[in-house]
């Protein structure tokens, strides 16, 4: 478990994830000593790919350090909020709210949800100097260690560590913060998945470069300009006021996205039916070819007898078919230029693609988003620059989210993405996973300016009224509970999933780490002398392992009584976590294998701190006998520390 991961992280390198992919797909390129045969690899590329020695790439201080962070496993455990998760509205929910650092959250999610997320939206810190962004991490490398891991000199290593320790808000620090998160996020997307990233002018160009680096320029889908405010900016210190933000859009695989179908937005335009056409409301567009379009030249006679010799959008035979089908109109009583009808019903069936300018009237704005929170919480300015639900509705539509799809937001903030998914689930069975750092609101309140203190005081009062901890994640949790209640009131007969399960990512305490470090299985003798399991709890260990082994947060685990000892069985795994296993319990486990045809756990996983060495060996010896039985089972025995 934690001790195993810490040992593994000691040997982690920046290219570890990439090397794993190469070993999986090109095993013949690796020599017996583990070396990589580049010449053999080039043979695979011959006649298929041009290999260039020159290229354009993004470089910044700490890029390899960022890749190293993405390669290292998380040492956090997953603590289920059992009181919340057992409530009727939550116990069967497929929605997940995670409190914790999102780098840890992404690493945990990848163990069960790789290639399973259809749409990601994030609103990361903008690094404006006033948004509170500073880079910090808790990886305690020495300059010597980092120098060896990254193959750089110690002076460079010191410069990188200086960024991580002093809390920098430089461009390099922001890139070092974003890079590993986007690397991991890419691996969560389905082949036709899409990611949307909000940003402002300050880091927009850098974000484009790192996304090109991670997702590939060929998977750039667009750069949206969203007008975030309805009023005119009035900042007298700036030449250009901020009225719009950017949303960068990338796909995991652009070809797969087009193949499986791109998402569409809600239909816009003014439709009416002045001639009572039986096909319903329609709008029209010019039949005449535009100045930037090629067309076909022929003559058209208007109903008033005027002959028009122009270049038209389609050939003459097409025009005649449209005219006969009452799809050509002549405005101004028949004297105007011909226009082609298009019907609302047909356009709705086709869907409408989005343009790269999103107006505040259609897609919402910050003021509207603030009003949404005010309606739920009962006070103004509950969150700084929240995103409106309308904006997220559009992103969910463009992400082509359908039944069973997952929407992920790992900078959840006020919880707009999750609320939008709850509302979308009224029509399709989609679900959300969101991650939010549990920042201490009391500390934020202490540091707040006079104008900000009222907002934080209102939030504290709101959290106190619901007996919530004073941390930022509980703003989103409280929002979702209230939004869900409101949706149920508006749609009393709905069977949509409007609940969510809550999990907390926790690093082991220093005292627990000391116990892990000094634990030696062979010294345990016949009796356990440690209380390591009580530091974690059975449900925390079980939940962490289920996610690690690919079962996710919705695993249907069966608790089995083995002569007074409880084991946890699912699919190919039997988990033995608690201390106090007896010889009778071991015999019952073996008997269960031999007599229950449905019980075929190929992996028996032990929480090593709960087992004395002699009982571990006895269990291992008894399970080894199963390979000679009728089932011919070869049990993988996995002791985790």
- Tell me the two tokens of residue 541: 């260990």
Q: Mean pLDDT, to the nearest integer, of 67-84?
A: 96
Q: Mean pLDDT, to the nearest integer, of 593-611?
A: 91
Angle at 84 between CA 82 and CA 90, to 5 degrees: 110
Domain ranges in the chain are 56-134+169-264+356-437+472-503, 282-350, 510-640
Residue-wise pLDDT for 527-554, tens only, equals 555 789 999 999 999 999 999 999 999 9
Q: Mean pLDDT, to the nearest integer, of 458-471?
A: 95
* DSSP string covering 132-177: ---B-------HHHHHHHHT--HHHHHHHHHHHHHTB-SHHHHHHH
pLDDT score of 634 more than 90: no
The mean-pLDDT minimum among 35-49, 275-289, 396-410, 530-544 falls in 35-49
CA 74 to CA 47: how far, in whole Å?
Answer: 41
Q: How confident is the model at residue 629 (pLDDT cuts 50, 70, 90)?
A: low
pLDDT of amino acid 9: 81
CB 632 within 8 A of CB 594: no
Length of the chain: 641
pLDDT score of 42 more than 70: no
Residue-wise pLDDT for 144-159, tens only, equals 999 988 989 999 999 9
CA 136 to CA 165: how far, in whole Å?
Answer: 6
pLDDT of amino acid 524: 58
Q: How confident is the model at residue 45 (pLDDT cuts 50, 70, 90)?
A: low
pLDDT of amino acid 211: 97
Residue-wise pLDDT for 205-221, tens only, equals 999 999 999 999 999 99
Which stretch of DSSP H or E encloses residue 512? helix 510-518
Q: How confident is the model at residue 394 (pLDDT cuts 50, 70, 90)?
A: very high
CB 585 within 8 A of CB 622: no
Q: Each residue of 272-301: b (16+ CB within 10 Å) or e?
A: eeeeeeeeeebeeeebbbeeeeeeeeeebe
The mean-pLDDT minimum among 36-50, 462-476, 530-544 falls in 36-50
* CATH number of the domain located at residue range(s) 56-134+169-264+356-437+472-503 in this protein: 3.40.50.150
The mean-pLDDT minimum among 3-17, 330-344, 386-400, 561-575 falls in 3-17
Tell me the pLDDT of the chain averaged across its residues. Answer: 90
Q: Mean pLDDT, to the nearest integer, of 389-409?
A: 95
């Amino acid at each position: 478990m934690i001790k195993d991961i810490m040992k593994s992280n000691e040997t982690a390198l920046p290219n570890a994830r990439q090397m794993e992919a190469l070993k999986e797909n090109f095993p013949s390129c690796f020599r017996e000593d583990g070396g990589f045969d580049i010449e053999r690899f080039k043979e695979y590329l011959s006649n298929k790919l041009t290999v260039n020695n020159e290229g354009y790439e993004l470089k910044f201080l700490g890029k390899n350090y960022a890749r190293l962070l993405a390669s290292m496993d998380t040492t956090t455990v997953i603590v289920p909020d059992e009181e919340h998760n057992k409530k009727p509205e939550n116990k069967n929910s497929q929605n997940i709210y995670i409190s914790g650092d999102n780098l840890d959250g992404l690493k945990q999610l990848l163990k069960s949800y790789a290639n399973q997320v259809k749409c990601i939206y994030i609103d990361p810190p903008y690094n404006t100097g006033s948004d509170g962004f500073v880079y910090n991490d808790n990886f305690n490398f020495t300059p010597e260690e980092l120098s060896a891991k990254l193959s750089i000199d110690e002076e460079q290593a010191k410069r990188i560590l200086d960024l991580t320790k002093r809390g920098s808000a430089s461009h390099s620090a922001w890139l070092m913060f974003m890079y590993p998160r986007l690397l991991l996020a890419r691996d969560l997307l389905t082949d036709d998945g899409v990611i949307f990233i909000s940003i402002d002018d300050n880091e927009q160009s850098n974000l484009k470069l790192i996304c090109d680096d991670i997702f590939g320029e060929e998977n750039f889908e667009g750069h949206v300009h969203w007008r975030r405010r309805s009023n005119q900016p009035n900042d007298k210190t700036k030449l250009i006021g901020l009225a719009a933000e950017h949303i960068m859009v990338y796909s995991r695989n652009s070809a797969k996205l087009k193949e499986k179908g791109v998402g569409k937005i809600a239909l816009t335009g003014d439709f009416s039916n002045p001639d009572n056409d039986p096909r319903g409301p329609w709008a029209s567009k010019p039949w005449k070819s535009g100045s930037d379009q090629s067309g076909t030249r022929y003559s058209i006679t208007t109903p008033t007898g005027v002959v028009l010799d122009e270049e038209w959008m389609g050939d003459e035979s097409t025009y005649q078919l449209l005219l006969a089908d009452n799809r050509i109109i002549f405005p101004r009583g028949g004297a105007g230029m011909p226009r082609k009808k298009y019907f609302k019903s047909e356009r709705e069936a086709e869907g409408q693609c989005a343009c790269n300018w999103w107006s505040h009237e259609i897609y919402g704005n910050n003021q509207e988003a603030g009003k949404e929170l005010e309606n739920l919480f009962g006070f103004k300015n509950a969150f700084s620059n929240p995103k409106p639900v309308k904006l997220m509705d559009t992103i969910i539509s463009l992400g082509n989210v359908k039944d069973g799809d997952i929407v992920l937001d790992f900078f959840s903030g006020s919880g707009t993405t999750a609320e939008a998914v709850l509302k979308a689930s009224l029509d399709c069975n989609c679900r959300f996973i969101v991650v939010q750092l549990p920042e201490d609101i009391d500390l934020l309140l202490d540091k707040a300016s006079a104008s900000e203190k009222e907002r934080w005081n209102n939030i504290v009062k709101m959290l106190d009224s619901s007996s919530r901890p004073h941390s930022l994640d509980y703003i989103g949790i409280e929002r979702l509970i209230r939004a869900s209640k409101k949706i149920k009131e508006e749609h009393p007969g709905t069977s949509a999933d409007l609940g969510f399960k809550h999990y907390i990512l926790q690093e082991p305490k220093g005292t627990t780490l000391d116990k892990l470090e000094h634990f030696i299985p062979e010294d345990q003798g016949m009796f356990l002398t440690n209380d390591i399991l009580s530091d974690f709890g059975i449900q925390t260990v079980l939940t962490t392992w289920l996610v690690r082994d690919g079962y996710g947060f919705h695993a249907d685990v069966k608790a089995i009584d083995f002569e007074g000892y409880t084991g946890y069985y699912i699919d190919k795994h039997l988990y033995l976590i608690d201390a106090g296993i007896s010889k009778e319990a071991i015999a019952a486990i073996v008997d269960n294998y031999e007599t229950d045809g449905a019980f075929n756990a190929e992996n028996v996983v032990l929480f090593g701190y709960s087992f004395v060495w002699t009982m571990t060996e006895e269990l291992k010896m008894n399970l080894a006998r199963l390979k000679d039985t009728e089932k011919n089972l070869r049990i993988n025995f996995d002791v985790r520390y």
